[in-house]
Amino acid sequence: MAAQREVKKTLCRQCDDRCGIEVHLEDGRIVDIRPNKDHPWNRGRVCVKARAVIDMVYHADRILTPLKRTDSGWQEIPLDQALDEIAARLTEIAGRHGRRSVSVWKGEAVGFMQQEDIARRFIHAFGSPNYLSNDSACWTSGHIAYSLVDGAWPVPDFEHADCIVVWGTNPVASHPNVNQLITIARRKGAPLIVVDPRLSESARRADLHVPVRPGTDGALAWGLAHLFIENGTYDKEFVERHTVGFPQAAEYARAFTPEFVEKETGVAAATVRAMAQMMAAAAPRVTVYVDSGLEHHENGVNNIRAVAMLDAFLGSLDVEGGNRLFDDPPLRGLTLYEELPLRDLGPLGADRFPVLYDFRQECHTMTALAAILDDDPYPLRAMIMTAANPVLTNPNTTRMVRALEALDLLVVRDLFMTETAELADYVLPAASFLERAELHAHTKYQILNLTQRVIGWPDAQDEYTFWHDLAARLGMGEYFPWEDETGLDRWLLEGSGITLEQLAAHPEGFPYAPLRTRRWEEDGLATPSGKVELTCRYLKDFGYDELPVYRSPAYLAEPDPAYPFVLMTGARKLVYLASRFRNIARFRTAVPDPEVEMHPEDAASLGVADGDAVRITSRIGALEICVKVRARNEILPGVLQITHGWREANVNLITHDDRFDPVSGFPLMKSMTVRVEKVAG
C-alpha cells in the first residue's frame, strides 16, 4: 500500500524567526520540511535549521521518559509518579523554607512568550516571586533601553528603507530572514551600514563597514548626533514636537566630534562622517537594527539609548522605511501581577536592579545564585527549569554549577540531556514546537498564527499540560482551569474578535490589526511624557543618568596590563542557537569545533597558527581553545571572539557574573579583558 502522505502548515521554532513551514509526513512520520510560500516573513525560503527539525525530533538521544536521579544513576519512572514526587518535594521545601524558596527558570529551547507566561502564572500562583529566565542575559537590555526612549522596541522596516544600519548584530547567523529583507532594500538602492568590531557575514556586503571597538557604540551614536545637529540635518519639527530633553542632548553631543569619536571608538573620523551623511541623506527612511552585540557591556543600556535617540533626529520613528512601532497582539494576559501583588515578597534581584524588575518582572539570575549558595537574602532551594541550559549560557559556569548542585530540588524539562539536565534530580521530557498548538504573533506584520501539533509522544507534555498537571497536585488547579492548550488558546483570544478556526484557516498569518504609522501624531508614545525621551526622568528618579551618558569600557578607561586582550563572546553561528544543536551530526560537519577568532598580528605575536591551542584567562577563570586566525580586516587587533554554547570549550567558564550594566543587570560578556598564552603542544 502506498504511504499516506500529508502536509501540515505551521511555524518553525528552531529560532525566534518563526518562519512559515510545511511539514511533510508519510504515514505520520515527518519526512521533509518545506517553506510555506505564502508566509510574509520567510517568503518561500527556510534555513538549514528548519530541515534539521527531523534530526532533532527523532534524535536517538531524545528524552521521552521521565528520569529520576538515584544512587545507581538515572532511573526511568512513570510520568504520574514523577509529578507526584515533584509536587511532594515542592510542598515539603516550601513548608521548611517558605514559598519563595521555590522558583522557575524559563529557557528558550522549546519556545517563549506564551510558555513564559504560563510559567510565570504557575510560580506566582504557588506564592513565590521568583521567576527567573535566560532574559537576565538576553534581549531584555535592548528592550529596556528602547522602551525608555520610545516606549517600545520598534521593529525595523527593512524592505522599505532607503538606508539600513545593522548595529551590533549579524542577522545572517541570528535571524536569517532579515537578509532577504535587506536584499529587497539594497536592490532598490538603499546602502547598508554594518557596525561591528568583526567583518561578520552581514558586513561582507556592507556599503560601509564601521569596525567600532567593543562597548564604544555609545560614543559613535553621540558622534552621529553631533554631526546631525552641527550640519542641521536633523528633523527639527519632529524633535521640537515629539521629544523631551533636546537642549541637554545637544549640549552633551558637542564634545563628540568625529575626531573624539575616532579616538574613542577606533573608527576613522571620515567613516563617522560618511555614516552620518548616508543616514541623513536617506532620512526619514532609515532603519537602525540593534541587537545583543550592544547588550553585554557595563554601559550597555546607555549605549543602546544613545542609538535609539537617532531615530528621533532622523524623524525615522514609526514611519515607512524607518523603525516602526506596532500594535500589541490582542491576547489576554496570563500573568497574575494585578490579581496577586507580590513585590513585597522580595523577588530576587529586584532591589539591586529595580528597572529590570519594573519593566519585566524578571528576577536577576546571577543575583539569585547568592540565595542558593549563601541564603542571601533568603534561601532558594528548589527550581523547575524549562528548557534552559545556563551551565553553558550564563556567565561564570563554575559558580552556576555549584549553585545548581546546591539546590534541594532541580527539575529540568528538555528534549535532551543537556549539561544542565545532568545536574537535575528529575529530568522530564518536553514537547518540541511540532508537538504543541500555540499562538504566535509577528508584530512586524501584525499577524497571528496558530501552530499545529503535528506529532507527539505520550510523556512529552506540552507546556500548558505540564504546569496544569503540577498545579493540580499542589492545590492550585483553579489557576489552570483550561482542559488543554487549545482551551487556553481559545481563552487567550477571547474578546479579540478572532477565532482559533480563522487562525487555523490562515497558516500564512491572520492580520490582527491593520498596519499603520506615525503613532506619535495622535496616540503619543508609551513613555511617561508621551514623547521620545532623550532625557529620562524615570531613570533619574532611580539615581541613574538622565541622559544616555557615554562611559568608556573599563579596558579603555583603566587598561590592565595583566589582561591585555579584549574578549567578545556569543557571536552566533548559523547552524547553532546558543547551546542547541551541537548534537546534530551534520551541523558538526559544517561547524565542527569551538575556536577563538584572532587578528593575524596577534596570532603572530603569540606565535600561533590555525588550530593551535591557547589558554585564555580572565579574572573569573581559564579555558583552552583552538585558534582561528581571521583576515586582517575581519577582526580588530587586540580583540578576540569566542562563540558560546560549546561543552568542549565553554567560554562562560571565564565570563563575568560580578560586573553588570547598572540598569538592566546584564553581565559583562562582550568587552571583557583576558590574557592569552600559547599552550605547549
Among candidates 138, 109, 49, 105, which has minimal Cα distance to 652? 138
Least distance in angstroms from the C-beta of 34 to another protein: 7
Sheet holding 5-11, edge to edge: 5-11, 20-26, 29-35
Among candidates 558, 466, 640, which has minimal Cα distance to 87? 466
503-522 residues near another protein, rule: CB under 8 A: none
Least distance in angstroms from the C-beta of 53 to another protein: 13
184-203 residues near another protein, rule: CB under 8 A: 184, 186-189, 191, 199, 201-202
Site string for another protein, 114-153 (x = CB under 8 A): ----------------------------------------
Rounded to 5 degrees, φ, ψ at 7 are -125, 125
Nearer to another protein by C-beta: 595 or 634? 634
Nearer to another protein by C-beta: 70 or 633? 633
606-635 residues near another protein, rule: CB under 8 A: 630-634
Nearer to another protein by C-beta: 40 or 559? 40
Secondary structure class of 469 (helix, strand, coil) = helix
Residue identified by cell 526511568 is 76
Nearer to another protein by C-beta: 189 or 681? 189
From 168-176, 262-270, 343-351, 518-526, give the range in contact with another protein by CB under 8 A. Answer: 168-176
Instruction: Give the residues across from 9 on adjacent strands.
Output: 22
* In contact, 300 and 168? CB cutoff 8 Å: no
Q: At what angle do helices 397-406 and 365-374 cross, to 10 degrees?
A: 50
Nearer to another protein by C-beta: 189 or 514? 189
**Could you say which of 14, 147, 177, 389 contacts another protein (CB under 8 A)?**
177
Among candidates 375, 165, 151, 321, which has minimal Cα distance to 243? 151
Site string for another protein, 266-295 (x = CB under 8 A): -----------xx--xx-------------
**Could you say which of 182, 348, 447, 663 contacts another protein (CB under 8 A)?**
182
Residue 574 sits in the site that holds another protein (CB under 8 A): yes
Q: How many CA atoms lie within 13 A of 282 on its CB side?
A: 30
Least distance in angstroms from the C-beta of 557 to another protein: 32
Residue 586 sits in the site that holds another protein (CB under 8 A): yes
From 182-190, 509-517, 539-547, 664-672, give the range in contact with another protein by CB under 8 A. Answer: 182-190
Alpha-carbon distance 318 to 320, whole Å? 7
Nearer to another protein by C-beta: 25 or 208? 208
Is the omega angle on the peptide bond into residue 377 within 30 degrees of 0, that is, cis?
A: yes
Least distance in angstroms from the C-beta of 241 to another protein: 23
* In contact, 651 and 644? CB cutoff 8 Å: yes
Among candidates 326, 325, 322, 324, which has minimal Cα distance to 161? 322
**Total residues interacting with another protein, rule: CB under 8 A:** 45
Pull the grid cell for residue 185.
Answer: 532594500
Residue 680 CB coordination number (10 Å): 6
Nearer to another protein by C-beta: 343 or 632? 632
Least distance in angstroms from the C-beta of 649 to another protein: 21
Alpha-carbon distance 528 to 548, whole Å? 17
**Could you say which of 8, 22, 24, 34 contacts another protein (CB under 8 A)?**
34
**Could you say which of 65, 91, 180, 499 contacts another protein (CB under 8 A)?**
180
37-56 residues near another protein, rule: CB under 8 A: 44-48, 51
Nearer to another protein by C-beta: 172 or 539? 172
Q: Can you say whether the dihedral through the CA atoms of 387, 393, 395, 397 is positive or negative? A: positive
Residue 315 sits in the site that holds another protein (CB under 8 A): no
Nearer to another protein by C-beta: 34 or 675? 34
Least distance in angstroms from the C-beta of 48 to another protein: 5
Least distance in angstroms from the C-beta of 112 to another protein: 22
* DSSP label at residue 572: -
Pull the grid cell for residue 479.
Answer: 489557576
Nearer to another protein by C-beta: 43 or 473? 43
Residue 269 CB coordination number (10 Å): 15
* Residues 6 or more apart whose Cβ sits within 8 Å of residue 534: 149, 243, 244, 245, 246, 248, 249, 309, 312, 547, 548
Angle, CA of 675, 679 and 681, to the nearest 5°: 170
Nearer to another protein by C-beta: 188 or 263? 188
Alpha-carbon distance 241 to 537, whole Å? 18
Pull the grid cell for residue 348.
Answer: 530576587
Nearer to another protein by C-beta: 186 or 399? 186
Q: Can you say whether the dihedral through the CA atoms of 113, 116, 122, 126 is positive or negative? A: negative
* In contact, 250 and 313? CB cutoff 8 Å: no
Nearer to another protein by C-beta: 42 or 243? 42
Residue 101 sits in the site that holds another protein (CB under 8 A): no
Nearer to another protein by C-beta: 37 or 254? 37
Instruction: Give the residues across from 427 on adjacent strands.
Output: 67, 412
Pull the grid cell for residue 77.
Answer: 519512572
Least distance in angstroms from the C-beta of 47 to another protein: 6
Least distance in angstroms from the C-beta of 58 to another protein: 14
Site string for another protein, 198-237 (x = CB under 8 A): -x-xx-xx-x-x----------------------------
Q: At what angle do helices 217-230 and 269-282 cross, to 10 degrees?
A: 60
Ramachandran area for residue 139 (φ above 0: left; ψ -120 to 50: alpha; else beta): left
* In contact, 614 and 678? CB cutoff 8 Å: yes
Which amino acid is it at 147?
Answer: S
Q: DSSP readout, 445-481?
A: TTEEEE--B----TTSB-HHHHHHHHHHHTT-GGG--
Site string for another protein, 420-459 (x = CB under 8 A): ----------------------------------------
Residue 557 sits in the site that holds another protein (CB under 8 A): no
Among candidates 142, 515, 101, 130, which has minimal Cα distance to 321? 515
Q: Interface residues with another protein (CB under 8 A)? A: 34-35, 44-48, 51, 172-173, 176-177, 179-180, 182-184, 186-189, 191, 199, 201-202, 204-205, 207, 209, 277-278, 281-282, 574-575, 585-587, 589-590, 630-634
